[in-house]
Structure 1
């Protein structure tokens, strides 16, 4: 019995030895590279590859590809990519990749190059509570970075970061050749255009343009500025009965042009829509005032609602004429950066002819 047990034990030892030798043989056949842990930066993708493999940025990737910029973003860099998501493109009327192929390729390349900064920037790179800090882009012109910080200098600081009016909702995505900042709007810039030529080239602002011309407010918009214009589109005027025919019949001698059409202009100011948020954080400013020329009214831009609102106040009665509450669509189609200022689209009017009659 003892002899039998010893034989069993020896057989078990032999089997275990064979198993160990077999395991060692298998391990030695494996490549050590497969068993080693890669360094973190080896898993980061180049900018172009990252966008290609992220559905949220598929329209941005298509625009870059069509304009010939994807290969650039796979070079060494470094780059900071300001990446609008698909929703941002949807808001300006681009729903599908096919919509992009209908665009002028050269203009699209200029627009997309404006979203690429040829240097690596992270949240820590930006001045605390900085406003309109300029950074050169691949388009050859500067974009504007602004940041407002709650509790600056604190580890729990909350930062609102914007690029040319577009909110960064996902910050400091690490790439193999730089960083990516995800934004909720496509940044819009028009090199070589003034606010005047921008408005003139868009038929949906023709009623407003005709009013500016009729009351002698048009020519100066080609000047140095800067100007910030909250421009009502045609539908905004039509909704209150101010059709093109009605505006054509107005007699400038009978109405205050600066109140009726000039109240929408901030002279010597350049404001992105996001500035109301930034200034609200930095110095608790809640409104911005403009006084139409030679008139007894005051236009105020308030940060009170979700997107802000515009109100025109009579200095005589101290009552508001009309208020325009800015909508998500207004904000999406605003921040049109020109050489001498900014144009914002609004969907309401501040004044009707009956309230602008001269005494």
Structure 2
């Protein structure tokens, strides 16, 4: 009986000890979940943390997951126009919800171990596509997401990983390039030109294209002073002009930076099989953008807005019409 008593006490003590160990382990695991890790890194992640706090995704990142969170650092938010945390707080709740959802992916994704390939598809928690490129540039391995570089890889949490990125990703709002163009008031001239040329429906199809879209001012500089002047232009003339502004496939601006050699120049074959000259733009020691020049352009066109996403491609807005005819 005495032996049985001590045996029961030992077993009971063992249960208590195991329970304490399990509770400690569970407590540590919870404390190291993504929501808390992000909150603890206020120096780098306070803007994203503020945005996340306006959504239901803070609680989501306390769940088991696993999740991979693509976090724009504070500098990325400043580049996107948010001067401080208060500016993020003042942003529309709908915009913040869409933004945060587009930066979270189900699963554990070590982006620096993905294949060496351009624009590999992942799906954000919102269902929208994200495009990951892993490539080698000057002996360095570079990873980009939607054309924005990844700054730090695989920061661990108990329920997933954090990847730190250089820009705030713009959520996929439009399913088709045609919607991007028709909804942007700076592209009204282009929208009418596509209609007049009989090309508009092409950009509502599923074929993936990259479009270097001339702004309204670009059309004016080329001599189209009004939208009516575009409507009066021969459809075949406009069709020829516009086919020199897009090509099949998805190319982000940083894709050119990754694939262009030490000359800092390359070419892009457009839909009409003629080429545009591409030159890299450098700010300090970093390449940041490109310029484009057709055979008939006296000066290169500047990219004034890049990487506007659509389900069937990407749009880059430029400040000149590309001219393929030498003057």
TM range (shorter): 0.7 to 0.9
Q: 2:249, 2:162 → 1: CA distance?
A: 30
Q: Deviations over 1:21-71 (max 9, x none)?
A: xxxxxxxxxxxxxxxxxxxx9898432233333243333222222222112
Q: What displacement does 1:238 show? A: 4.0
1:121/1:346 CA distance change after superposition, 3 Å: same
Q: Which has the higher strand share?
A: 2
- In the other structure, the counterpart of 2:189 is 207
1:289 aligns with 2:287: no
Counterpart Cα distance in 1 of 2:130 and 2:87: 25
Distance 2:85 2:177 in 1: 30
User: Residues of 2 paired with 1:235 and 1:58: CA distance?
Assistant: 38
Among 155, 160, 163, the residue aligned to 2:142? 160
5 Å matches for 1:56-71? 56-71=44-59
Alpha-carbon distance between aligned partners in 2 of 1:199 and 1:60, rounded to the nearest angstrom: 29
Q: Return closer, same or farther for 1:275/1:109 CA change in 2, 3 Å cut-off.
A: same
1:341 aligns with 2:317: no
Count of matched residue pairs: 291
Pairs within 5 Å for 1:56-205: 56-100=44-88, 103-127=91-115, 129-149=116-136, 158-190=140-172, 193-205=175-187
Cα RMSD (Å): 3.3
State the Cα distance separating 1:179 from its structure 2 match: 2.0
Structure 2 equivalent of residue 228 of structure 1 = 210
Is the alpha carbon distance of 1:248 and 1:136 closer, same or farther for their aligned partners in structure 2, counting shifts above 3 Å? closer
Give distance in 2, aligned partners of 1:59 and 1:247. Answer: 46
CA drift at 1:144: 1.4
TM-score (norm 2): 0.75
- The separation in 1 between residues aligned to 2:132 and 2:238, in whole angstroms, is 35
What residue is the counterpart of 1:312 in the other structure? 294
1 CA distance for matches of 2:177 and 2:153? Answer: 31
Q: Which runs of 5+ in 1 are unaligned?
A: 1-40, 152-156, 314-319
In 1: Cα distance, 2:105 partner to 2:159 partner? 12
In the alignment, which residue of structure 1 is the partner of 2:233? 251
Q: Which residue of 1 aligns with 2:285?
A: none
The structural deviation recorded for 1:214 is 2.2
| Contact 1:207 1:243 (C-alpha < 8 Å) held by counterparts | no
Give the gaps of 5 or more residues in structure 2: 1-27, 283-288
C-alpha deviations, 1:281-324, integer Å up to 9, x for none? Answer: 7xx9933211438xxxx2425254432222212xxxxxx43553
Distance 1:94 1:123 in 2: 27
- Give the C-alpha shift of residue 97 in structure 1: 4.3
Paired residue for 2:257, among 258, 273, 277? 277
Q: Which has the larger radius of gyration?
A: 1
